[in-house]
């Protein structure tokens, strides 16, 4: 993909749909509208509207009352967003000590706006910490220990 996720002409909402479809199709080969609705916590009518737009953009293969699959372009975006999400959630949880649910929620918001340079620097920093075996326990104060 030539554009970064943050620079993508695809909206954050569309990226969320592509990520959800990517995850579902990795488990089940195809996705159904109700699976997508459940994964995103939205109504089936919202899914139908989004799928029509994604189909018109050439990102999904969709016909009403049929299964949904990603096109090559849709899969590329979905895979990229999912990888960013996974990395960011893990980073927030393991490096910053954020609880898993909060890490996941924040990763979902950050994945869309983080530019490629900052994302690459974060991944390099995470690799450095891992290589040096530096854990958050060595530098994070105990809960409630940070005073501003």
The structural architecture, per CATH, of the domain 12-76 is: Orthogonal Bundle (1.10)
Report residue 124's pLDDT band, with 50, 70 and 90 as the boundaries: very high
Tokens of 62: 């969709």
- Highest CATH level, class, for 81-131: mainly alpha
* In the chain, % of residues over pLDDT 70: 91
Is residue 68 within 8 A of residue 45, CB to CB? The reply is: no
Q: What tens digit of pLDDT does each residue of 68-90 get?
A: 999 999 999 999 999 999 999 99
Domain with CATH 1.10.60.10 in the chain: 81-131
pLDDT number for residue 1 = 39
- Ranges for all domains in the chain classified under CATH 1.10.10.10: 12-76
> What global pTM score does this model have?
0.82
Two tokens, residue 129: 């910490």
């Amino acid at each position: 993909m030539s554009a970064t996720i943050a620079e993508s002409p695809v909206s954050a909402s569309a990226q969320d749909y592509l990520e959800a479809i990517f995850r579902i199709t990795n488990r089940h080969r195809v996705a159904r509208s109700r699976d997508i609705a459940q994964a995103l916590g939205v109504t089936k009518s919202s899914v139908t509207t989004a799928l029509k737009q994604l189909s018109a953009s050439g990102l999904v293969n969709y016909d009403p009352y049929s299964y949904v699959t990603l096109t090559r372009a849709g899969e590329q975006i979905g895979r990229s967003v999912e990888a960013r999400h996974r990395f960011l959630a893990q980073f927030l949880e393991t490096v910053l000590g954020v609880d898993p649910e909060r890490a996941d929620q924040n990763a979902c918001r950050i994945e869309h706006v983080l530019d490629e340079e900052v994302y690459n620097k974060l991944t390099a920093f995470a690799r450095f910490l891992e290589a040096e075996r530096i854990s958050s326990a060595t530098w994070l104060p105990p809960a409630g220990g940070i005073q501003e």
